[in-house]
Amino acid sequence: MPTLPKPPPKPARLMTKNQVFQFMQTLERTYPSARSELEYKNPFTLLVAVVLSAQATDVSVNKATPALFKAAPTPDAMVALGEEKISDYIRSIGLWRSKAHNVYELCKQLVMNYKGEVPSTRQALEALPGVGRKTANVVLNIAFGEPTLAVDTHIFRVGNRTGLGPGTTPLAVEQQLLKRIPKPFLKMAHFTLILLGRYTCKARKPLCYACPVAEWCQYTDKTTLPS
């Protein structure tokens, strides 16, 4: 699991319920078409893509997976392809050796235990090789419509910096966000918060002056427009 950054300085206070509502509502209006930037066609290709994306960029995964999924579009085909050939398709992705092994082994389990279908429960997903809580949350959200939050470095940073849902671990942030974000916004929150963290609320130099939700953010060291 990648090492997460230390939480930034604790904000002066948590957002109020009304501030959280305004914050999330504005994010949805700002990113009305927010979705995963990984390319996939069905729950199976989504699962594989998310496993491959660990400690790698979505861009690098999207470059490798079209050829892989053309060669092996189903779990059965992936097992038939074999671990060595899977490796050949994903060598441009970080940690490709261990990821090829995990993809091969999880496909074997899908074939043997689930008739080639991706299971729809957290327990079953997390029992698959290479699938942790974050990956399971992504699959549950996108493939099965569950209001889950996969806390990556972006959401971890946003939750702490803004006062939306601070915590010292990804699980703590996830639990805070699930508790504090109103239900109507939970399904999209995974995507809108990632986009906010990736492109505006950046780690080193947040673009507070261009942030659509700065009005409700409790970060005390907001940046100003460069002169």
Q: Which of 115, 144, 173 is the last residue of a domain?
A: 144
Output the six-digit token pair for 41: 């066609």
Q: Which of 86, 110, 144 is the last residue of a domain?
A: 144
Is residue 108 annotated as part of the catalytic site, yes or no?
Answer: no
Residues 31 and 103 grouped into a single domain: no
Binding site annotation covers 217?
yes
| pLDDT tier, 55 (very low <50, low <70, confident <90, very high otherwise) | confident
| pLDDT tier, 175 (very low <50, low <70, confident <90, very high otherwise) | very high
Binding site annotation covers 107?
no
Give residues with Cβ within 8 angstroms of 42, minimum separation 6.
Answer: none
Query: Of the residues 70, 88, 108, 134, which is catalytic?
Result: 134
Is residue 152 annotated as part of the catalytic site, yes or no?
Answer: yes
DSSP state of 193: H
Q: Which of 144, 164, 191 is the last residue of a domain?
A: 144
3 part of a folded domain: no
| Total count of domains within the chain | 2
Residues 115 and 48 grouped into a single domain: yes
DSSP state of 209: G
- The full 3-state SS of 41-107, as one line of letters, equals CCHHHHHHHHHHCCCCCHHHHHHHHHHHHHHCCCHHHHHHHCHHHHHHHCCCCCCHHHHHHHHHHHH
| pLDDT tier, 24 (very low <50, low <70, confident <90, very high otherwise) | very high
Residues 27 and 54 grouped into a single domain: no
Query: Of the residues 99, 152, 202, 222, which is catalytic?
Result: 152
Contact 212, 34 (CB under 8 A): no
Using one digit for the tens of pLDDT, what is the confidence trace for 10-19?
A: 665 899 999 9
pTM: 0.86
Indicate which CATH number applies to the domain containing 129: 1.10.340.30
Check pLDDT > 50 for residue 210: yes
What length is written for the chain? Answer: 227
Residues 114 and 183 grouped into a single domain: no
Cβ-in-10-Å burial (0-12, 13-18, 19+) of 84 comes to: exposed
Residues 127 and 171 grouped into a single domain: no
